[in-house]
Amino acid sequence: MDFRTSATDSISSSSSPSSEAAPLLRRSASVWALAAVPLALAQLCLAKPNPNWLDHDRNRPQPKVVTPATPSTQQQPGRAPSDAIVLFDGHNLSKWVGMDGKPTKWIVRDGYMRPARGSEDVRTLENFGDCQLHVEWATPTPPHGGGQGRGNSGVFFGFGRYEVQVLDSYHSKTYADGSAGAVYGQYPPLVNACLPPGQWQTYDIIYTAPRFDAHGKLVSPARITAFQNGVLIQNNVELTGPTSWLERAPYQAHPAKQPISLQYHHNPVRFRNIWVRELGKPGRKEFTFPNSLLDRYVGNYDPIRITREGSQLVATLSGVRFVLFAESPAHFFAKTTDVQIEFPNGGGRHPDHLTWSVGEGANIAERK
């Protein structure tokens, strides 16, 4: 099709220009016609949101039905949406451990959890990558201290790496990038949406984990969007690296799924109604168990050698290394190849064998 001819004809036939206006209109029509070429091509080449589906495709799957959360009041926490993993419902700390994976010193009282004196940070046993996290917190009342010493805690993603600050910033001043709702040390909150100390406040945080390539090079940074008490306070900010103080720390490669943690900063900040929704394709469940458990499995099980690197086991088979992820205290799997390893009896002191498979079957390997 000759778009220039069509366009010119269309304008000529639908208009009755005066003799003075005609040259200008003809010139305009010509310009318009030339512009139509790339426009038409662009319409043919427009990117589709998902090339696998037609626009309005009747066969496209319906969204999963989720019963929404119910809102909290100061007196009563709300209920999590139906597809959320409830991390704390006011009853027990079964989903939480100390940062070393051992039982935490945090305590449960009257439907909330808080650190005991001399506690440490507390983390989830389960690992989470991209997610929507809901958490409610209340700083001490009457308030004590000022600045960073006034109701300080934090919500961390990435196993203690990336902090959204919790602080009593209600009529209390500190440096902006350390106030409540800050991505600590990097981004102040867009506004101060704090309630008075002692009142329950909500964070709804969307976390996108950073991604690294096989060589540990950063592919995409961590991102955070956050609402405090329903008010947008962080709008998809790109983190420059892990949270740090007095320095700008660089990214260090880590798996996308890591524990979520709450900070103990020597202030008895309370938490309640914590739930998380995993986003994207989170894959199978995985957990970070204590190093003391993992160390029981370390050894040479011909033809597999098991070592520990940080909080993860690594299997070496035929000279190839596989980072292992824990599905349970006894069952581990790799993500690059379908390698599965099971230790007997949930892990005795030093198991005398393991069961391994690659893609199929099951093989026993005796410990040497």
Binding site for Mg ion (CB under 5 A): 152, 154, 165, 263
Minimum CB distance to Mg ion, residue 250 (Å): 21
Nearer to Mg ion, 166 or 294 (CB): 166
Minimum CB distance to Mg ion, residue 102 (Å): 23
Indicate if the alpha-carbon torsion angle 294, 300, 302, 307 is positive or negative: positive
Nearer to Mg ion, 263 or 273 (CB): 263
Nearer to Mg ion, 147 or 347 (CB): 147
Minimum CB distance to Mg ion, residue 152 (Å): 5
How many Cα atoms within 13 Å fall on the side-chain side of residue 54? 4
d(Cα 335, Cα 129) in Å, to the nearest integer?
14
Nearer to Mg ion, 263 or 311 (CB): 263
- Other beta carbons within 10 Å of 131: 21
Could you tell me where the beta strands, DSSP code E, fall in 119-262? 122-124, 131-138, 153-157, 162-166, 201-208, 211-212, 218-220, 223-228, 231-238, 261-262
Minimum CB distance to Mg ion, residue 181 (Å): 11
Minimum CB distance to Mg ion, residue 263 (Å): 5
Q: Please, which residues have CB within 8 angstroms of residue 132's CB and are 6 or more apart in sequence?
A: 204, 205, 206, 207, 276, 277, 279
d(Cα 209, Cα 126) in Å, to the nearest integer?
15
Minimum CB distance to Mg ion, residue 285 (Å): 28
Q: Which residues pair with 315 in a beta bridge?
A: 306, 322
Nearer to Mg ion, 154 or 259 (CB): 154
Backbone angles phi, psi at 174, to 5 degrees: -150, 180
In the complex, which residue's CB is closest to Mg ion? 154
Minimum CB distance to Mg ion, residue 338 (Å): 40
Nearer to Mg ion, 237 or 298 (CB): 237
- Other beta carbons within 10 Å of 7: 19
Cα–Cα nearest to 222, from 288, 159, 154, 312? 159
